[in-house]
Amino acid sequence: MFKIICYQVYKDEVTQFEALNKDGYVLEFVTEELTMQNLVTAQGANAILLADNAPVNREMLTQLAAWGIKYIFTRTTICDYLDFDAADDLNQVISRIPVTASQASLAEKIAISFANFKAVLTTGEPTNEIYA
């Protein structure tokens, strides 16, 4: 089963995630943003889903890769807070959503993220890949 750790998910968002999880991913919710201090919460996952612009640096990506996490998804359009060079070196894929907060609701952003997860499982690559 494909396990996704979702960061910066608030209690009132959990029902939306669960309702939109049509493919039965194993979802784990963390209310905080991903940091070096809570990075261990990603251990055992196949992918992580980020919500904001907390920096994800080479050290963090290296540890995620060591745990077998190849896919880093974000519910944002802008991804400049991620270390693309490190992701490339580590053979990781970063995927975003192609719409801004003013263009899409939270449910739409979650649905796009899940579509990317499904694409990964069926084709090996997300539909909105921006770096591999």
d(CA 99, CA 93): 19
Domain count within the chain: 1
In which element (H, E) is residue 130 found?
Answer: strand 129-131
Domain extent, residue 87, equals 3-131
Nearest to 8 by CA among 36, 37, 28: 28
CA 63 and chain centroid, separation: 15
- Which domain CATH number covers 122? 3.40.50.720
3-state secondary structure 25-55: CEEEEECCCCCCCCHHHHCCCCEEEECCCCC
| The model's pTM | 0.82
pLDDT tens-digit profile, the chain (132 residues): 889 999 999 888 899 889 888 888 899 999 999 999 999 999 999 999 998 778 899 999 999 999 999 999 888 777 788 898 999 999 998 887 766 666 667 667 666 676 766 766 666 666 555 544
Nearest to 126 by CA among 100, 93, 104, 87: 93
